[in-house]
Amino acid sequence: MQIDAFLAQRLRELRQAHGLTLEQLAERSGVSRSMISLIERQETSPTAAVLHKLADAFGLPLPALFTPPAPTPQPVARLADQPVWTDPASGYQRRQLTPGGVAAPVELVEVHFPAGQSVDFDIPAPRVGIEQQLWMLEGNMLITLAGAAEPQRWLLASGDCLAMTLGERITFHNPGPRSARYLLALTRSAAPSRRLP
DNA sequence: TGTAATTTGGACGGTAGATG
DNA sequence: CATCTACCGTCCAAATTACA
């Protein structure tokens, strides 16, 4: 199944499993109901920022939107079976490494980030706290983390590893001139930072 | 600067339940 | 059965954004 088709089905299933209408999910996620409807009908390719908001509305990390809740956990995710999703806005590509259905506390994602591109995740009141470690494999990335305190910024080079807690706003930027590649390890923290009713 | 794609809010039509 | 209301998802025009 194409990743967009899978995403559309997964989003609709998640929404219905939570008993939410388009309007309710729109209010909860900050994404308009029209946009959610378009995604569910595969009539648009949502940006990473939009998907990040939707995942957060379900209390899930972004990679969870690309992995099916497999009834029987598979210990191996073959390269050919790993879902790859490309952000239409920036062209950045994320490959879901962790096998589906595995109840592991860690999720692994490989990211290819085009030179000169940026991706901005901005969620005013995140529902789910996510701990994340970023291991640079190739190239450079500039990570800016903005929360309640002063913004923090790190320029990462090949081999560097950054551990961070996702705050309200995080910007990934590849200053170029080469495309970057890195590994993300994500865990959901025990205590979500804040939660709306 | 023009074009294409994404995103939004209002308008619209379909459906289910309540009421007379 | 007809009508009304509420709710839901889709359609549409316009604004915004990215890119050549």
Nucleotides on chain B that have an atom closer than 7 A to a protein CB are 5-10
CATH of domain A79-188: 2.60.120.10
For the segment 146-185 of chain A, residues whose CB is within 7 A of strand B: none
Q: pLDDT-based confidence at A192, cuts 50/70/90?
A: very low
Cα–Cα distances in angstroms (integers) from residue A188 to residues A58, A62, A156, in the given order: 13, 11, 23
Does residue A189 approach strand C to less than 7 Å at its CB? no
- Å separating the CA of residue A52 from the C1' of nucleotide C1: 50
Query: In the structure, what pLDDT confidence band is assigned to residue A145 with cuts at 50, 70 and 90?
Result: confident
- pLDDT at residue A125, as a whole number: 59
Q: Is the CB of A115 under 7 A from strand B?
A: no
Of A34, A87, A62, A10, the residue nearest A188 (C-alpha): A62
* pLDDT at position A194 over 80: no
Q: Is the CB of A86 under 7 A from strand B?
A: no
**CATH architecture of the domain covering A3-66:** Orthogonal Bundle (1.10)
- The answer to whether residues A39 and A46 touch, using CB atoms and an 8 Å cutoff, is yes
- Name the residue with tokens 């962790």: A98
Q: What is the pLDDT of residue A187?
A: 81
Please report, for chain A, the start and end positions of each structural domain, with discontinuous segments joined by +: 3-66, 79-188
Count of alpha carbons within 13 angstroms of residue A19, beta-carbon side: 0
